[in-house]
Amino acid sequence: SQTIHQWPATLVQPVGSPLSLECTVEGTSNPNLYWYRQAAGRGLQLLFYSVGIGQISSEVPQNLSASRPQDRQFILSSKKLLLSDSGFYLCAWRFVGSGANVLTFGAGSRLTVL
Amino acid sequence: DAKTTQPNSMESNEEEPVHLPCNHSTISGTDYIHWYRQLPSQGPEYVIHGLTSNVNNRMASLAIAEDRKSSTLILHRATLRDAAVYYCILRPTYSGNTPLVFGKGTRLSVIA
């Protein structure tokens, strides 16, 4: 069966510090991968998605970047965090070829920038 | 993605059925209707989807209007664990790699 892992689960970072959030998927090949963010009390905002290694599409201009160095690994990064980067970051995957387009989400990484 | 309209919030008593409405008057003939829910402090999870016919699974039922301009997610017996934000999303059948876009959803409160 397929599983998705995100880490760290929670982190507190000072403004101006770097960020690296990791997401890995097991049990599937060539998935589509997604990063979403949910600010406190707000809806889900799509940040990045990837259809293959090294292929990244950015939905919102911001202080963040994403990379996909391996087929089942998706990394969200920042060189210098802003207060507004605080939020709940969710990685998701979708099996390519599935007509239902069902997304499976990880447990999330909660980031607090102070 | 075509637009959907949902009430901001709803309330239900425990053990009673819940009908969560979704309007999608601009739906096209190839759009699937998807429902996800997000429990507190968790990522969204898939609930159910359908195209034209009503659908049932272990989590819920999906009732789709004959003209497909609206649908209703039915929880047959609400429990406290069903308290969540429920999202109704339209997805074209042949959407390629286009990501799902989540709206604000309906926040369901369940009262013991």
What residues in B contact A51, CB-CB < 8 Å? 97
pLDDT band at A43 (very low <50, low <70, confident <90, very high): confident
How many helices (H) and strands (E) chain A has is answered by 0, 11
Residue B74 DSSP symbol: E
B33 in Cβ contact with B46 (< 8 Å): no
Nearest to B91 by CA among B45, B31, B47, B44: B31
What is the C-alpha to C-alpha distance for residues B32 and A53, in angstroms, rounded to an integer?
A: 28
For the beta sheet containing B18-23, the strands, ordered from the edge strand earlier in sequence to the opposite edge, are: B18-23, B70-75, B61-64, B55-56
3-state helix, strand, coil in chain B (%, to 5): 5, 45, 50
**What is the structure's pLDDT at B3?**
87
The nearest alpha carbon in chain B to A44 belongs to B102
Q: Which two tokens stand for residue A66?
A: 């994403």
What is the C-alpha to C-alpha distance for residues B70 and A36, in angstroms, rounded to an integer?
A: 27
Contacts of B84 by beta carbon, 8 Å cutoff, 6+ apart: B37, B38, B39, B40, B107, B108
pLDDT band at A98 (very low <50, low <70, confident <90, very high): low
Q: Give B21-48 pLDDT, tens digit per residue.
A: 999 999 988 889 999 999 998 999 999 9
What residues in A contact B91, CB-CB < 8 Å? 101
Q: Give B53-97 pLDDT, tens digit per residue.
A: 999 999 999 999 999 999 999 999 999 999 999 999 998 776 666
What is the C-alpha to C-alpha distance for residues A6 and A12, in angstroms, rounded to an integer?
A: 16
**Chain A residues touching chain B at CB-CB below 8 Å:** 32, 34, 36, 43-44, 46, 49, 51, 59, 88, 90, 92, 96, 99-108, 110
Q: Do B43 and A34 touch (CB under 8 A)?
A: no
